[in-house]
A and B are shown apart, each in its own frame.
Chain A
């Protein structure tokens, strides 16, 4: 018997590959209607986009934290880029760090490192401001105890 193919409709699906040990961390969080795992910040599926993006995939990737909590990179970056986040994971309140040795994180490492440096500098500036009599006239600048405290910190 000969079969003649007239047309082929290819259908495919994709999903982010999340390393096994990082998958169950979200078991308690709310699933969206499709039962997919969702980003703890925007509540959209990992395979969908963050609220700021239109196209899923490489344009709106995931990152995996050292604490095994995963987020859209845009969501967690926006959070970590606030002073009030104090660099902490929204789910578990540990310092959020990208898990090492994962392909999914590799392209983001420098970006997150820059953010950490930026915040460190901001803190340094605040630190410097305290010593500046013009910006903080109420502080007693000659207080030796204060100076000691600053050095210890």
Chain B
């Protein structure tokens, strides 16, 4: 604080000779014009700075941020939809693959079945052929045996007739044997 007495002009009506305030400096009307003048200048400057530069700029920043956020949200929504789509496609592909696999399995099964049927038929035919051949052979053998029996029977009959002192008539014996063997 200034302690040395000031000259009367500087001290004035609001400040005493020691540089201290007389009463409230707020009520010193000598200073009002000065304060109001500089206040008006200050307010005008602040108003111009705010309305010309600061506020439009901040408004633009806020709008831009809002836009960015909206865009990002929309993009996220898009990506989400795409992800859902991709999942659906994946599921569809999976189902398709499963169906295809089933189809291929069924086809393979049918093919195998066809081959099997073919083989069975061929085997059956072969078996039938073999059986027929065997039957034929058996019939032949049977016929051969019948003939042999007739020959043996005729011979035996002729011998018997001769042994009994008869005259063996070959024709009669043959017809008799035939008649007997047919009977």
A associates with B: no
Binding site for B on A (CB under 8 A): none
